[in-house]
Amino acid sequence: MQKKFEDKGVILVALSYEASSLVAPYVSQHKIPYIVGSDAKATRDAFGIQGYPTAFLVDPDGKVAWTGHPMEADEAIENLLKKKKPRGAGLLAEEAGKLALGKADKLHKQKKYTKALKAYQKIVKDFQGTKIAKTAKTKIKAIKGNAAVMASIRAEEADRNASRWLNMARVLAKNGAENDAMRYYEKIVTKYPESEHADTARREMEKLRGS
């Protein structure tokens, strides 16, 4: 539903009454592409929700135009779009954008620069044409213009990639695929020659050659 209607100004928001500690890992693991909120017990009670999942379609005036099961929402959305056109990004999108920007700013403040950069880039994509997106673009420009921050991002990326390749090489070597393992070791040495992972790769390559 998200992909089908996103270019028509429809915003999909999912709310769970469960805690963020349960919801966040699920969203991350399944790479859910829309806004997901947690701890929404007050909203659940206010709307009188009895069954799960329950979907609400809110029109441009902020009024509930339809209630039902999410699997039946497409037709209701299409009918509403024929009657009322979306008004720009809307209040809901603005609030969602502010929330996303706040989370990105928090990541930046915590010096989690790689995650912050990705969060700002997602905001630009999800809220294009809004003031929120313009602010995110400014944040991205500032990050990319800071040599120290970019060095930190590149170092984090290198560590992440090299660790993954090293693990792959070890798994392949353990399962008798020495040639494939060597390719991963050589990839680490070639791309990140001055890193600790490269030193480890060289030692394990020598050990593999001698076995």
Give residue 4's region: left, alpha or beta (phi > 0; psi -120 to 50). alpha
Peptide bond into 53 cis (omega under 30): yes
Residue among 95, 101, 73, 99 nearest 20 (CA): 99
Domain spans of the chain? Answer: 2-87, 149-210
How high is the pLDDT of residue 161? Answer: 92
Separation CA 170–CA 178 (nearest Å): 9
How high is the pLDDT of residue 72? Answer: 82
How high is the pLDDT of residue 88? Answer: 53
CATH code, residues 2-87: 3.40.30.10
Which residue matches tokens 């929402």? Answer: 73
How high is the pLDDT of residue 114? Answer: 92
DSSP structure string for 146-178? -HHHHHHHHHHHHHHHHHHHHHHHHHHHHTT-H
How high is the pLDDT of residue 171? Answer: 94
pLDDT per residue rounded down to tens, the chain (211 residues): 545 565 556 777 788 888 888 888 888 888 877 778 888 788 888 878 878 888 888 787 778 888 888 888 888 888 888 887 665 555 556 777 888 899 999 999 999 999 999 999 999 988 888 889 999 999 999 999 999 999 989 888 889 899 999 999 999 999 989 999 999 999 999 999 988 999 999 999 999 888 6
Q: With contact defined as beta carbons under 8 Å apart, do 57 and 65 qualify?
A: yes
